[in-house]
Amino acid sequence: MRVGPRYVLAAVALVAVAAGVGLAVSRSSDPPGSVTVTLPSAAPSPSVSPSASPVPGGMQTSSSQAAIPLYVDPSGAAAQQVRDYQAAGQTALAESIRKIADRPVATWFADSSTGGVDRARALVAAAAQAGRVPVLTLYNIPHRDCSGQSAGGAASAAEYRGWIDGMAGALTGRAIVILEPDAMPHAVEDCLDDAGRTERYQLLGYAIDRLRAAHEGVSVYLDAGNPSWITDTGRLAGALRAAGIERAAGFSLNVANFETTEANIRYGTELSGHLNGARFVIDTSRNGNGPADRGANDHDHWCNPAGRKLGDLPTTSTGVPLADAYLWIKRPGESDGACGDGAPPAGQWFADYALALAG
């Protein structure tokens, strides 16, 4: 996936929030690896019927439903790295990676395989059994990333619709779904021709409708890039409307990027003003130090940039009226791409970078 001054890299993971107001981190009495969040009176909850929300399928709810525990997947690469370090007696390194492994992060689904659908079903079922809410990122739109580092996606519109049907069938319980990182900004910046852009909007609208219909507790957020990408929020809002944003829970920002939470709140609030008050979520997984300076190479700014840190913790209690959640959507420690210094391809685990983020 291409990035840089206007682009954001979304990790390709075949399986696959800044510390918010009111966050209650798990204590000894909580299940291992849990994060429970406490909501203010106007904060979101994906456990309620869409009819309780001003945005269909959204997480807005009343103060009577005050906690949303987000699911921590025990099978992620970070958890395995902790086990490997422990087995090698590298306790300090293991404790550093626990800062990632013990937090709820999104699980990515990035191909059309039936195995992906099966994994999604198992994830949602495991989260439901634990009484928690998983975050899923769907990343399989045709012509994905416009031939950038994360190029790929479904081979046709028909294949994509079939895949979405399968993923919808897997959503048998509550879930937060981040829909197609970068797909909308890429369309807005004209990396598709007119026919391709129209098809993309139609496919995203189809996905919103099918996923929302899967279960009343599913909240779908259509990705809208980041503050440094499409700066004309009116133009972006028009495209989001064409893709059916009014039928989604809202939009997501900063996926796999490093823009500060404050910058995203300002941007999201401005964009929301063009969208009748649409709500949003922000990826805070790696924005602790904000974006890197732009170097001689474009990828210095976005591809595993040095000096970045984990951002604010995942929470659905943000204290920001329009922000439903801060989420770790990009999985910290997974590579942005093979851009030097031993970095593996996009989406693969990169232990050295994970340690740097957690340091």
Would you please indicate which residues are annotated as catalytic (active-site) residues? 145, 182, 336
CA distances in angstroms from 99 to 27, 73, 105, 314, 354, listed in the order given: 15, 14, 11, 12, 10
Answer whether 178's CB lies under 8 Å from 255's CB: yes
Distance, CA of 137 to CA of 222 (rounded, Å): 10
What is the distance of C-alpha 285 from the center of its chain? Answer: 9
Distance, CA of 2 to CA of 69 (rounded, Å): 34
Distance, CA of 181 to CA of 269 (rounded, Å): 19
Answer whether 54's CB lies under 8 Å from 122's CB: no
Helices 77-87/351-358 angle, 10° precision: 90
Distance, CA of 146 to CA of 339 (rounded, Å): 18
CA distances in angstroms from 339 to 36, 141, 244, 305, 323, listed in the order given: 36, 24, 35, 10, 33
Instruction: Provide the β-strand partners of residue 12.
Output: none
Instruction: Provide the β-strand partners of residue 36.
Output: 24
324 — phi, psi (to 5°)? -70, -35
Which residue is it, tokens 């319980």? 173
Answer whether 112's CB lies under 8 Å from 163's CB: yes
Amino acid 249 reads A
For residue 28, count other CB atoms closer than 10 A to its CB: 5
